[in-house]
Amino acid sequence: MDTSEYWQIRLNELRKALEKNNFEAYVAENSSEANNLVTRTVIPETGAKTVLRGDSMTCIEAGQLVNLDMVGNRVGGITFGPKHVIVLVGRNKIVPDLGSAMERTRNYAAPANAMRFGLQTPCAKTARCSDCSSPDRICNTWSILEKSYPKGRVKVVLINEDLGL
Ligand code: SF4
């Protein structure tokens, strides 16, 4: 069954919620359209260079972005520094609320990433978070972007495809 029409409605609702929170938001039908949008429109118009596609990024239906970082480079870049930031979000990263964002990240994205990178964390063996103290722990800094400041600094491209973890 083709669910793209369902997702078009959901993604457009989310685009409006993001815009209410001062993000610049777009909807692309697939990753190729997203790439064209970013390279032909968003970057030339704004000079934006920082593009984030983190597996630990989720988007809340009320129009906020949640990210969990190992090193802090993503949290740093998205909150302060670059004049413009572009975030690419697949439809599979949309969750209803903050609790769901944290649950999804801790019990799905982080363990799956730990497995992918061959890290020695408990979740790489159990597929569940145990709030570990492992030297390889990848869950160190959360960021919650409630609004973009200044207005339009953070640009979100919502993609009508399941992308990443
Ligand atoms: S805190 Fe540790 S166990 Fe939990 S998801 Fe992160 S790395 Fe895995």
pLDDT tens-place string over residues 121-144: 999 999 999 999 999 999 999 999
% residues pLDDT > 70 (the chain): 97
30-53: pLDDT as tens digits:
999 999 998 888 777 777 776 777
Name the amino acid, one letter, at 47: G
Token pair of 59 as six digits: 């988007």
For β-strands 154-159 and 85-90, DSSP reports them as parallel
> Which residue has a Cα nearest atom 2 of ligand 1?
132
Residue 82 contacts residue 116 (beta carbons within 8 Å): no
Residues linked to residue 64 through DSSP beta bridges, in sequence order? 60
User: Do you know the residue count of the chain?
Assistant: 165
Global confidence as pTM: 0.92
Q: In the block, which residue shows the tokens 């090193």?
A: 71
Give the Cα separation of 51 and 146 in Å (integer): 19
Mean pLDDT of the chain: 92
Give the Cα separation of 63 and 59 in Å (integer): 7
Cα 114 to Cα 47, 72, 151, distances in angstroms: 34, 16, 35
Comparing 15-19, 37-41, 54-58, 77-81, the range with the smallest average pLDDT is: 54-58
Q: Name 149's Cβ contacts closer than 8 Å, sequence gap at least 6.
A: 22
11/75: higher pLDDT? 11
Ligand 1 pocket, 139 CB below 6 A? yes
Taking the centre of ligand 1 as the mean of its atom positions, its distance from the CA of residue 133, in whole angstroms, is 8
Ligand 1 pocket, 121 CB below 6 A? yes
